[in-house]
Copies of this chain bind each other. A is one copy, B any other.
Amino acid sequence: MNIFEKCESNVRSYCRNFPDIFHRAKGSIIYSDSGKEYIDFFAGAGALNYGHNHDYIKQKVMSYLDADGIAHGLDMYTSAKEKFLAKFDEVVLSSRKLDYRVQFCGPTGTNAVEAALKLARKVKQRSGIFSFMGAYHGMTLGSLSISGNVGIRAGTIGTSNNVTFMPYPYGFMESFDTIQYIKSVLNDINSGIEKPAAIIFETVQAEGGVVVAPIEWMQRLKNLCDENDILLICDDIQVGCGRTGPFFSFERADIVPDMVVLSKSISGYGFPMSLLLIKPELDVWEPGEHNGTFRGNQLAFVGATAALEYRESCNFEQDVKAKELFLKNFLTQQILPISEKIAIRGIGMIWGIDMKNFGGSSLAKNITSRCFELGLIVERAGRNDTVIKILPPLIIDLVTLEKGCSIIKEAFNDCISK
């Protein structure tokens, strides 16, 4: 591992938890240089809902490359983008009667979040943004300013971006009515807090520790926004694209946010891509007002189109529901009984085992390390990394899913008995 230690910045992180060199991958399996196989319960942090190197998508991508399709297209009109837009409109938007304009942002989630914040401020001509405690939205300055983790802000000394963090229904904050709290702040002219341009939220706070927002809470949040002329932005980067079952994670609450951010799995193949969906009446951008060199990552468009085609060919949503049931049962029956101090939370194919009160961060780390030794890649999330986050590719077959789960069980046994 010489060259990494010699040349790569100290900022590298996942490689420290998964100390092997990987070279090949297929579906839910990653292969290391040394020939070892790992089941992947991490799925590129949500970027690989379709698994690694999905054959249908791969074939489309390779054909495109082979034919010298344009690889880099800025934001010019290209055939690849045309096909993606048509397919996305048909499969995702029209079929749900959703009316959104699509903005292709610099191909990272954080870039689309930044675009959303800028547009909201421009539309409403207000500077404030409400975000939630526990939120994670990205690492560029705007996104960082709305992310809850204060431990990663060291470098932003002296910047200030008019963000107010509101309580998310979790921990002590679950003990009172958090929507009423926000209402009270907005209705009190002496609250010190001005009406924001937008409220940005995640339906599931993944990095916050897999905290699932109640349906009624989301509905009341949407109503509160409407009543107060505030835009509602849903950051669906990690749990969109089918992670919770339906394509968008907010569908379960039957709400339509004013803007939606998509990234991670949208390209189908792990290629960098991000979208901002904007209600047409909010699309007040001047041409070029938000730009970026890599908005036109054509290979990602090709992959994204293929992924949507593949999606149509099978019963994705129902399939996820089945695996959700499996995971829930496994956690309830195999993990929860280990200790009443363990909590489990989740929905669809994102689940967390909260070890906060049972060994904390250190036991959680021991368990995920032991999983790695046993051939399973699984990460931690949440406050102080106490939550073991289960995030397999959606296309994982039941045998592999079961195998991964049994490794978790085994790791628990190994670590607790020590």
Whether the pair A155, B118 counts as a contact (CB closer than 8 A) is: yes
Query: By the criterion CB–CB under 8 Å, are A126 and B157 in contact?
Result: yes
For chain A, the count of residues having a C-beta within 8 Å of the partner chain is 158
Q: How long is the Cα–Cα vector from A150 to B30 in the complex, in angstroms? A: 47
Cβ contacts under 8 Å, A276 to chain B: 9
Stretch at the interface among A159-167, A244-252, A317-325, A329-337: A159-167
Q: A residues 14-35 with Cβ under 8 Å of B?
A: 14-16, 18-26, 30, 33
> Quick one: given A12-B287, A47-B293, A65-B61, are A53 and B71 in contact (CB under 8 Å)?
yes
B188 touches A171 (CB 8 A): yes
CB distance from A392 to the nearest CB of B (A): 15
Copies, count? 4
A3–B89 CB distance below 8 A: yes
| A24 B68 Cβ-Cβ under 8 A | yes
Q: How far is the CB of A378 from chain B (nearest CB, A)?
A: 13
| Beta-carbon contact of A293 and B46 below 8 Å | yes
Q: Would A101 and B291 count as touching, CB distance under 8 A?
A: no
Task: Please indicate the chain B residues that have their CB under 8 angstroms from the CB of A285 in the complex.
Answer: 9-11
Q: Are B297 and A25 in contact (CB under 8 A)?
A: no
Q: Mark A163-197, 1 if CB is under 8 A from B, else 0.
A: 11101000111011000110111001111111000
- Among B25, B44, B82, which residue has its beta carbon within 8 angstroms of that of A68? B25
Q: How far is the CA of A270 from the CA of B148 in the complex (A)?
A: 34
- Given A65-B61, A102-B8, A110-B111; A76-B26 close (CB under 8 Å): no
Taking CB as reference atom, which chain B residue is nearest A78? B22
Judge whether A6 is part of the interface by a CB distance below 8 angstroms. Answer: yes
Q: Which of A133-141, A218-226, A394-402 contacts B (4 or more CB under 8 A)?
A: A133-141
User: Which residues of chain B come closer than 8 Å to A291, judged between CB atoms?
Assistant: 11, 13, 139
Chain B residues with CB below 8 A from A131, complex form? 192
Q: Give CA–CA (A11, B171) in the complex, Å.
A: 41
**Residue A292 is within 8 A (CB to CB) of chain B in the complex:** yes
A410 CB contacts on chain B under 8 angstroms: none
Residues in chain B near residue A108, CB distance under 8 A? 106-108, 111, 292-294
Q: How far is the CA of A301 from the CA of B121 in the complex (A)?
A: 37
Contact with B along A233-265 (1 / 0, CB 8 A): 000010000000000000000000000000110
Q: Is the CB–CB distance between A158 and B128 below 8 Å?
A: yes
In the complex, the answer to whether B44 meets A263 with C-beta atoms within 8 Å is no
CA distance A148 to B190 in the complex (A): 4
Evaluate contact between A141 and B141: CB separation under 8 angstroms. yes
Check A161/B163 contact, CB under 8 A, given A72-B47, A142-B140, A189-B150: no
Chain B residues, CB < 8 A from A271: 71-72, 297, 299
Residues of chain B contacted by A26 (CB below 8 angstroms) = 68
Q: Which 6 A-B pairs have the closest CB atoms?
A: A127-B158, A72-B270, A118-B155, A141-B142, A13-B288, A165-B192
Q: What are 20 inter-chain pairs, A to B, with CB distance below 8 A?
A: A3-B89, A6-B89, A7-B89, A9-B276, A12-B75, A24-B70, A44-B73, A72-B269, A109-B292, A114-B140, A121-B157, A122-B155, A122-B157, A125-B157, A141-B161, A145-B159, A149-B190, A149-B192, A152-B288, A159-B159
List 8 other contacts, CB 8 Å, given A62-B62, A190-B383: A7-B101, A11-B287, A14-B76, A22-B73, A106-B108, A106-B140, A114-B140, A150-B193
